[in-house]
Amino acid sequence: MNRLSYGVRSPAFPGIALPLLALLLLVAPTARAQGARSTQLLLAGGVAFPNGSYLYRLDTGYQLQGALELTAARKTTALRVEALYNRFGFSYFNPLADCVGSCPAERAHESTLAGTLNAVLAPRTPGVPLAPYFVVGAGAYKQDNTAVGASSGTNFGLNGGVGFRIPGLHAFIEAREHVVKNAANYLPITAGIRF
């Protein structure tokens, strides 16, 4: 009997969708009102940890991300448009029962390509070596799953977490939880550079 269950419960979305939308709508006019803005390109990558009902189903994976961030003149608020890609292998794998397509030559996996819109809030912290900021957003997550009996498709998801800018290096470190309806929930920890 296959140890891997593909029945996925839809995660309960707490009532944060409307407050999240309200926050995004508030940040946009604030950024416009604060005068001169700057736009930065962000590139990052790192390790992604599955969690929730997927904790024992998927192995630790990786995430790649690219983003454009529009920062207000006071540098305390920003809007970020982001593209994300992650991939996980299956923890329990039976090549005769758990693959479709090109398997068993390639191990079954789950990958997600996402596009998100995020609000970035950076409190002023003069003299602090790592400047903290908070990210919260929502978007579309397109899941591709090569395991037998698993579904693929595009789902709505929310994300939120914390990051740290490293002044002088144009670098940053981020940890954000992604909660996706009918797909893997995961926590990537990434490091990247701002251009």
Per-residue pLDDT tens over the stretch 6-18: 333 334 444 545 5
**Rounded mean pLDDT of the chain?**
79
What's the pTM value of the predicted model, to 2 decimals?
A: 0.74
Tokens 């970035």 correspond to what residue? 120
**Residues in contact with 53: Cβ distance below 8 Å, sequence separation at least 6, in sequence order:** 8, 9, 185
Q: Is it the case that residue 28 has pLDDT exceeding 60?
A: no
In Å, what is the CA distance from 63 to each residue of 8, 30, 46, 66, 83? 22, 31, 5, 10, 11
Q: What is the pLDDT of residue 94?
A: 54
Q: What is the pLDDT of residue 109?
A: 84
Q: What is the pLDDT of residue 105?
A: 42
Most confidently predicted of 60-69, 121-130, 146-155: 60-69
Domains within the chain, CATH numbers bracketed: 38-194 (2.40.160.20)
Spatial distance between the Cα atoms of 82 and 97, rounded to a whole number of angstroms: 36
Torsion on CA atoms 174, 177, 183, 184, rounded to nearest 10: 70
Q: What is the pLDDT of residue 41?
A: 97
Spatial distance between the Cα atoms of 75 and 38, rounded to a whole number of angstroms: 9
Spatial distance between the Cα atoms of 80 and 128, rounded to a whole number of angstroms: 23
Per-residue pLDDT tens over the stretch 56-85: 778 899 999 999 999 987 789 999 999 999
> Where does the pLDDT of residue 119 fall: very low under 50, low under 70, confident under 90, or very high at 90 and above?
very high
> Where does the pLDDT of residue 165 fall: very low under 50, low under 70, confident under 90, or very high at 90 and above?
very high
